[in-house]
Amino acid sequence: MCGIFVYQGPRSDAAGIVLEGLKRLEYRGYDSWGLAVPGSDGLKTERRVGKIGAVSANDGPIAALNPSNVAIGHTRWATHGGVTEGNAHPHLSCDGKVGVIHNGIVENAEELKAELLAGGHVLASETDSEVIAHLIENLLRDHPLPEAVRLAFSRLRGRNAIVVLSASAGKVLVVAKSGSPVVIGIGGNESAPEYFVSSDMPALLAHTNRLVWLGDHEMATIDGSLKFASTSTGEPISRQSEIVAWEPEQAERGEHPHFMLKEILEQRDAVQRAINQPPALLDEVAAVMRVAQEVCFIGCGTAGAVGRIGTYLFADIAGRATSAILGSEFKNYRHSLHERTLLIAISQSGETADLLEAVDIALARGSRVVAIVNVPGSMLTRKAHYTLLVQAGPEKAVASTKATMGQIAVLGLLAHACAGQAAHGHALLTNVASHIDALTTPDYMGRVARLANRLAGEDDLYVIGRGINYPVALEAAIKVQEVSYIHAEGIAGGELKHYAIALIQPGTPCIILASNDDARAEILSNAAQVKARGGMIIGVGPEDNPIFDEYLPVPDGGGLSPLLTLIPMQILAYYLACARGNDPDMPRNLAKSVTVK
């Protein structure tokens, strides 16, 4: 969940390069941050609490870290120990010569701590990460740095990624991974190569698009060249670099006040790119689906809601029964998996720990796995048998918008391919995408912003839908909750009378998703029930209705309506966050890539 950024190369302003890299990563973790470079008798560090935001490379203590050709840096999302300077990374060994930045959770940290304390080490922080620096310090007595790191890393339980810098080993960096993502960027030229390490690919794009993803149980030593080895055996392994087609500008905010707004506005293109899947791959995945006995969508958070939308799309378009399970709940179903189960794993990052664990469980049972994922090269793409890339480009706001829309579009296309109608599906999706612009005009955005201002003081908000609009309501509520912090719930219209109508009081805002589908009459009757209890009705759909107190028009998207209905919901969430003074890009307590369990 935290961010790693590292530089080694010919430039002497390594601390400044890493500082800028950390700023690009701040959406991953932002409670504290820190940097380290080698000094004459140990590492020199600078650690601070709070957002890195406006700190510049000219800032006194940062400037004092240069000149240096190597620097390691980290932005933290606290798991063990409070948000303090002392708990910020890099963590150092007792002699101050070994510095470690770490993503993940060392599950056996308490055991290792006890052993280190008994051996005379003094631990300065409350973190699980610090033990790694002390373990390496011990091992350096008998081993060179790469081997000391390998042996220390082998003692850690959990899904971890580390980068280690040692003052005694000069510029040498050692990277090791068993779960959390790590990607190495290779820049410069043959005679003067430069290396970058990051937890997140988009952060590297400003420097290079030549990348190597480190696999689990692999390590890399960067000593002016790049060598790979297995963390289990120490044996050398070979890894090829890949060129990634994402442009650096795609990862920049540009003129927009927030990434979330920029990404909402990019959704027409995102949908259009998502449906341009290689035809042979699409056919192959559709064929695998047709022969599968069971098809199950899995995802977490928003991607979990997308999976539920998928179940409606497949039932409606392909006449195919499927199920949707949250990544974190999937292990409970492991005994029902077999070779003819097909898992469709949906993810923006492709690095979500709960999802990857579910995929491992399915693979171990011989099931097939299809990934629908935005980040190329991510762990999910490496585990799955087939990958349909969403191609939304870098998504930096914590709240997923354009990647979500791309995932839904891929599911819509796949459902049509499954029904033997890929070309027809492509045409329908292109038509739906062409209506997205109507939802992002200044007029329309202003209308949603005014509604947000009206609702900004509310404590509770309900989003009510039937049919495919039920999971759309769940996703709409997720968006509102995560960036505005208003308590929002998605409710199936049919469930109101079973329990939820008890929540309605005079003035309670209820968003009614009323598409032009066969659920419309029933959802309007639900709206009437809510209105009879004094609820305030905000209608969202192609047709206005006298029962609506407020109305957000949405073009008719037919069977693919989620691609349109969700957009005003995302915009509403965005403006609610702004109206309440929240930073929509970095909502409290959340991180973009949830790589810990």
- Residue 478 contacts ligand F6R per CB under 6 A: yes
Smallest distance from ligand F6R to CB 356, Å: 9
Smallest distance from ligand F6R to CB 47, Å: 27
Name which position in 135, 594, 595, 596 contacts ligand F6R (CB under 6 A): 594
Show the DSSP H helices in 109-156 as ranges: 109-118, 130-139, 145-154
What positions carry a catalytic annotation? 2, 592
* Contact region with ligand F6R (CB under 6 A), list: 203-211, 329-337, 347-355, 499-507: 347-355
- Residue 570 contacts ligand F6R per CB under 6 A: no
Task: Pick the closer one to ligand F6R by CB: 221 or 302.
Answer: 302
Smallest distance from ligand F6R to CB 395, Å: 8
Give SS3 for 90. Answer: coil
Contact 230, 218 (CB under 8 A): yes
Smallest distance from ligand F6R to CB 565, Å: 16
Residue 220: half-sphere exposure toward Cβ, Cα within 13 Å: 26
The whole-angstrom separation of Cα 597 and Cα 405 is 25
User: Exposure of 390 by Cβ count < 10 A (0-12 exposed, 13-18 middle, 19+ buried)?
Assistant: buried
Report the residue closest to ligand F6R, judged by CB. 301
Give the residue among 295, 374, 358 at the shortest CA–CA distance from 326: 358
Task: Pick the closer one to ligand F6R by CB: 68 or 349.
Answer: 349
What does the per-residue mask of binding to ligand F6R show for 284-313, with x meaning CB under 6 A? ----------------xxxx----------
- Residue 348 contacts ligand F6R per CB under 6 A: yes
What does the per-residue mask of binding to ligand F6R show for 394-433, with x meaning CB under 6 A? -----xx---------------------------------
The whole-angstrom separation of Cα 373 and Cα 143 is 41
- Residue 563 contacts ligand F6R per CB under 6 A: no
Task: Pick the closer one to ligand F6R by CB: 100 or 473.
Answer: 473
Task: Pick the closer one to ligand F6R by CB: 130 or 200.
Answer: 200
User: Exposure of 104 by Cβ count < 10 A (0-12 exposed, 13-18 middle, 19+ buried)?
Assistant: buried
Alpha-carbon separation of residue 62 from 35, 39, 386, 411 (angstroms): 8, 13, 45, 47
Residues contacting ligand F6R: total by CB under 6 A: 15
Q: Classify the C-alpha dihedral 204-206-207-210 as positive or negative.
A: positive
- Residue 352 contacts ligand F6R per CB under 6 A: yes
Task: Pick the closer one to ligand F6R by CB: 270 or 399.
Answer: 399
Task: Pick the closer one to ligand F6R by CB: 275 or 375.
Answer: 375
460-465 vs 487-492, strand pairing mode: parallel
Task: Pick the closer one to ligand F6R by CB: 419 or 477.
Answer: 477
Name which position in 32, 347, 561, 570 contacts ligand F6R (CB under 6 A): 347
Name which position in 26, 218, 316, 482 contacts ligand F6R (CB under 6 A): 482
Contact 403, 351 (CB under 8 A): no
Name which position in 349, 469, 508, 526 contacts ligand F6R (CB under 6 A): 349
The whole-angstrom separation of Cα 572 and Cα 479 is 9
Give SS3 for 489. Answer: strand
Q: ∠403-408-413 over CA atoms, to 5°? A: 120
Give the residue among 507, 594, 505, 520 at the shortest CA–CA distance from 556: 520
Smallest distance from ligand F6R to CB 406, Å: 11
Q: Which residues contact ligand F6R (rule: CB under 6 A)?
A: 300-303, 347-349, 352, 355, 399-400, 478, 482, 593-594
